[in-house]
Structure 1
Amino acid sequence: MKNLFFYIAFLYSSFLMAQIMPTGIITPPEKVVYTFQKEYPGKVPEWTIKYVGDDDDEIRYEAKFKANPNSEALAVYDNLGVLKAFESQIPLSKLPPKAQSYLKKNYSAKAIKEIAVVIDDKNKTTYEVGIQKDSKFYDVVFDKNGGFDVIVEKD
């Protein structure tokens, strides 16, 4: 009877672990690692995996690393090692003036939690500003000229 209980508990815990594993820290394919090392020599990334697309049918490998001592960066690759996006932390002063003005007018300085510049695989630049308001977290997105684009609620 004890053995049956332990067997069931072991089986149950392995199902739980299998559900948690896909979003954890991973080792990406060689093509992805090679491309990262070529683009960012000497940087040590922490790799995670995400599923994207309409049916979560596309894999993205995210390399989070220190761009310099004061800021972090995120490089996102597909499974062939093609860079899909690059995100880097920036100070408020690096935002376009139009975006700075919008933020000062609509949010308190304490609400701004993080600011990043994002460059996608089509070389489109956007700015994402993490805002915490009413215990919810939002990304306020601006175009390359600082024009307001959209607000996205984050989990």
Structure 2
Amino acid sequence: MKNVLPVILFLCSSFLFAQEGTNMKKVVTPPEKVRFAFEKEYPEKTAVWSEEYVGDDDDEVRYEAKFNTEKNEKALAVYDNLGVLKAFELQIPLKQLPLKAQTYLKQNYSPKAIKEIAIVVDDKSKTTYEVGVAKDSKFYDVVFDKNGGFDVIIEKN
């Protein structure tokens, strides 16, 4: 009986650790071209790297660098395997969203539902705002154009 409690604790902690691991992206070391491009664009910044497969058949790899800016804001830079910057995302406060987007959010979501807000600039210099919201036990990205006009809602897994 004495040995049962440690075994149960071990199994529970292993289960919890396994569950946590499934929600996290694997930390990776990107190719040299990608690291060089990041270091050139964001000198003296330290990033935590992960990779994601995208494309129709998940045949393209993207390297994501998470780091803090000078103002201690959270940022994400996404590169392809050749070191080409595909997108840059910067977390911002609600007050920095265009007024039109703020109004839409106030009409459709409670303040507690809003989990994160970011400005995103893609490789074609297109600017959008993405607002992560939780509703009915699901997570969504509500996307607005550069002027704050509603664009689309994307359900996240």
- TM-score class normalised by the smaller sequence: 0.7 to 0.9
Could you tell me which residue of structure 1 aligns to residue 133 of structure 2? Answer: 131
How do 1:4-153 and structure 2 match up within 5 A? 23-153=25-155
Instruction: Give 3-state SS (helix, strand or coil) of 1:101's partner.
Output: helix
Amino acid at match of 2:131: V
- Per the alignment, in what secondary structure is the counterpart of residue 56 of structure 2? coil
Give 4+ residue runs of structure 1 displaced > 3 Å after superposition: none
Gaps of 5+ in 1: 1-19
C-alpha displacement of 1:70: 3.9
> Where does structure 2 lack aligned partners over 5 or more consecutive residues?
1-21
| Residue 71 (structure 1) shift | 1.9
Amino acid at match of 2:77: A
Return the TM-score normalized by structure 2.
0.83
Report the CA distance between 1:69 and its aligned residue: 4.9
CA distance in 2, matches of 1:64, 1:108: 28
The alignment's TM-score, normalised by the length of structure 1, stands at: 0.84
Amino acid at match of 1:79: N
Aligned length: 134
| C-alpha distance in 1 between matches for 2:114 and 2:132 | 6
* C-alpha RMSD over aligned residues: 1.2
Percent identity, aligned pairs only, is 72
